[in-house]
Chains A and B, each alone.
Chain A
Amino acid sequence: MDLAFTKEEIAFREEVRAFFKDNVPPETRRKLQEGRHLSKDEMVTWWRILNKKGWGVTHWPKEYGGTGWSSVQQYIFNEELQSYPAPQPLAFGVSMVGPVIYTFGNEEQKKNYLPRIANVDDWWCQGFSEPGSGSDLASLKTKAERKGDKWIVNGQKTWTTLAQHADMIFCLCRTDPAAKKQMGISFIVFSMKSKGVTVRPIQTIDGGHEVNEVFFDDVEVPYENLIGEENKGWDYAKFLLGNERTGIARVGVSKERLRRIRALASKVESGGRPVIEDPAFRERLVACEIELKALELTQLRVVADEGKHGKGKPNPASSVLKIKGSEIQQTTTELLMEVIGPFATPYDEHGDAGSNESMDWTAQIAPSYFNNRKVSIYGGSNEIQRNIISKAVLGL
């Protein structure tokens, strides 16, 4: 047992840090630190900088543009990215559909889609959830009917993150209505510009516009846009969801936020002294730091295990990451609220665009707290995670 990184790993971390320092646009970093939303341009600009460096799709196999990094290097990269902070790669392309395509797609599809994912020439969004299919995803109803060399897609998806920016969508569609729930689903991709696709924004409680409803009305999709085999889509979806095990803890994000809390709490006064000097507050903050340290160690256990034994067998500890990671993210946003107290109250209706320079940055703190309630809901709610632990780990 040994906690230390090797000399090479430490040198690698320095290289990554230096690259971020020289290349992340300062305004992008500042917005992230303040919990603001970035514009599409700001995100894409950064991702193309990363891709130019060869770090756009770091965990992909080398033949498709990946880096060949070890699990530990991959971990270091993600941690540094999150805690700098810089925008993380667009998960829907890089972590979700990309690996499905290079694992189950044909040569033509790999050639067409993968380089465009890496350079974000196409912005991808995810068509999984439906109004009646949340945790019970396999009950989905959106259907794709084969007509000659085309699919005709009808139905509705929801909670589609950043669909307003998207060029492409990957969709789970029912292709065999007679088959049992999971068996009749296919994985189909198509352009968001197709005739019959309508995107309607959903405003979330923080006032932001991240998610959308997407309607399909007789959308014509070329047959060859099917990924893998017909009616095997559920397997690909499971593969996709199981793919990102360690990033989900978002340890770097919470670390960065805790640092910010300490900095702020040293400035904001309460009772004639900085909030950080209030023992009750400080102990709550430290309690959260300890939880995060434990989570970081749990994550390192998973990373080290993958590095040594391959990614085949999931480490039981990995199921802890989503639950604890989301709880801690939520606690950090609560602590931030506590620090600024009554100044969390004003609401900046145009906060998203960052256009109102007269609004103080504190305007984003309450919205960020509201917004972070999502993290225990998305990606398999924490209740679903507990089902997974009790079945897969405890055998109940």
Chain B
Amino acid sequence: MDFDLSEEQRLLKESVDGLLADAYDFDARKKYMAEKGGWSKAVWSKLAEQGLLGLPFAEADGGFGAGAVETMIVMESLGRALVVEPYLATVVIAGGFLRHGGSAGQKAKHIPGIIDGSKTFGFAQLEKNSRYDLHDIATSAKKKGDGWVIDGEKFVVLNGENADTLIVTARTKGGRRDRSGIGVFLVPVDAKGVTRKGYPTQDGLHAADITLTNVEVGADAAIGDPESALDLIERVADEARTAICAEAVGAMDESLKTTVEYIKTRKQFGVAIGSFQSLQHRAADMFVALEQARSMSMFATMASDFDSARERASAVAAAKVQVGKSLKFVGQQSIQLHGGIGMTMEAKIGHYFKRLTMIENTLGDTDYHLRRVSEGGGLLA
């Protein structure tokens, strides 16, 4: 049992933090958000140069063969700096599908573009009525010759506005909520029949609503078994949830630090407001919430080694519940303790609050995952 980082992991953390300290203060972030597409190609190239985009891929595929802990380290740092570049959608999610389900040909075709930073991906999962159920899919993929024809509508596609390629979940068989008959497809955004309506999100990222009308793709578009890919989808989704739990911990940590600094310096009634016990106790409770979330983020990360799939899933769901509760408290109280200035677009603190809030609604909210743990029989072995 060991909660420390290895020497290599510590160096990785230093290098990510160092890069972001140089390139990603709050003003720089504003500039990147104003660029075309809403994020910085230059920063993305720097992440590629440092090898961060290739981290989780096997060495045989040109990557570094890093594991869940390394992803946690990177995501926590990205959360701390409120990075808007599409690491989650491209490296964690698309990368996850390719690593766990991709054929040799798919890996050779797509992984190099991720690693060198030339290509980004979007994850087209959410539908009008699916909410958080990954198996609830109305979008259809019908066999045509060797290939597939895809029809349907996807919403709030992560990085959908800017992606080169979409990962689309679609039904090849059965009814809308069947757990079988589900496939995952690689769809180039310039394929005939793909229309997208891009927009910025509340937390400064970019997404898109995407309509697929008679979109024809080849046989090599399907990742894994096109009739039973739900396990693959859930596995990748759990890795993505684990990653955003770490991102949330980074954002909460920085949010609390910023808030504590603020109440140490802000004066009212002739003294720093941090000298008032009601504010001190609130800050202490924020610290408790943060540490509980950090513990569960580590737990979900380490659970990727568990033998039992049920225990792995429960650990991730439980982490998402704890992180969801903690981020709401830390996010809201960070604004409260800042007072009026916390309400302004100009202050950084509100942007943490917004990113944290959207993390709660990504890939299942607190209630959804609480139900998931409950239906899995709870956490006590």
A binding-site residues for B, Cβ under 8 Å: 1-6, 9, 72, 255, 258-259, 262, 279, 282-283, 285-287, 289-295, 297-298, 300-301, 303-305, 308, 316-317, 319-320, 323-324, 383, 385-387, 389-391, 393-396
A387 adjacent to B378 (CB under 8 Å): no
Verify if B244 is at the interface (C-beta below 8 Å from A).
no
13 contacts between A and B (CB under 8 A): A1-B5, A3-B305, A4-B305, A290-B321, A293-B299, A293-B318, A295-B292, A298-B291, A301-B3, A305-B3, A324-B288, A395-B264, A396-B260
B295 adjacent to A301 (CB under 8 Å): yes
- On chain A, the residues within 8 Å of B305 by CB distance are 2-4
Which residue of chain B has its CB nearest to the CB of A293?
Answer: B379
Other A-B pairs, 19, CB within 8 Å; known A293-B318, A389-B283: A1-B9, A1-B301, A1-B302, A285-B378, A286-B378, A289-B318, A289-B373, A289-B380, A290-B321, A294-B292, A294-B293, A295-B292, A298-B295, A303-B1, A304-B3, A386-B281, A393-B287, A394-B260, A394-B280
- On chain A, the residues within 8 Å of B371 by CB distance are 279, 283
Which residue of chain B has its CB nearest to the CB of A258?
Answer: B380
Shortest Cβ distance from B99 into chain A, in angstroms?
Answer: 20
Known: A3-B1, A290-B322, A308-B4. A394 touches B292 (CB 8 A): no
Known: A289-B378, A390-B284. A1 touches B3 (CB 8 A): yes
Give the CA-CA distance A45 to B303 in the complex, in Å. Answer: 41
- On chain B, the residues within 8 Å of A316 by CB distance are 287, 291
Give the CA-CA distance A2 to B318 in the complex, in Å. Answer: 18
Give the CA-CA distance A298 to B297 in the complex, in Å. Answer: 11
Give the CA-CA distance A350 to B323 in the complex, in Å. Answer: 45
- On chain B, the residues within 8 Å of A391 by CB distance are 280
Give the CA-CA distance A85 to B291 in the complex, in Å. Answer: 28
Shortest Cβ distance from B110 into chain A, in angstroms?
Answer: 29
Shortest Cβ distance from A315 into chain B, in angstroms?
Answer: 10
Which residue of chain B has its CB nearest to the CB of A289?
Answer: B379
B260 adjacent to A2 (CB under 8 Å): no
- On chain A, the residues within 8 Å of B91 by CB distance are none
- On chain B, the residues within 8 Å of A3 by CB distance are 1, 299, 302-303, 305
Interface of B is mostly: helix
Verify if B298 is at the interface (C-beta below 8 Å from A).
yes
Verify if B361 is at the interface (C-beta below 8 Å from A).
no
Which residue of chain A has its CB nearest to the CB of B277?
Answer: A387
Give the CA-CA distance A286 to B370 in the complex, in Å. Answer: 7
Shortest Cβ distance from B336 into chain A, in angstroms?
Answer: 16
Shortest Cβ distance from B362 into chain A, in angstroms?
Answer: 19
B374 adjacent to A389 (CB under 8 Å): no
- On chain B, the residues within 8 Å of A289 by CB distance are 318, 373, 378-380
From B264, B280, B298, B322, contact of A291 by CB (8 A):
B322
B1 adjacent to A297 (CB under 8 Å): no
Verify if B146 is at the interface (C-beta below 8 Å from A).
no
Which residue of chain B has its CB nearest to the CB of A279?
Answer: B374
From A2, A290, A383, contact of B302 by CB (8 A):
A2
Give the CA-CA distance A383 to B277 in the complex, in Å. Answer: 10
- On chain A, the residues within 8 Å of B281 by CB distance are 383, 386-387, 390
- On chain A, the residues within 8 Å of B4 by CB distance are 1, 304, 308
From A282, A319, A386, contact of B374 by CB (8 A):
A282
- On chain A, the residues within 8 Å of B3 by CB distance are 1, 300-301, 304-305
Give the CA-CA distance A5 to B1 in the complex, in Å. Answer: 5
Give the CA-CA distance A390 to B281 in the complex, in Å. Answer: 7
A1 adjacent to B2 (CB under 8 Å): yes
Shortest Cβ distance from B14 into chain A, in angstroms?
Answer: 17
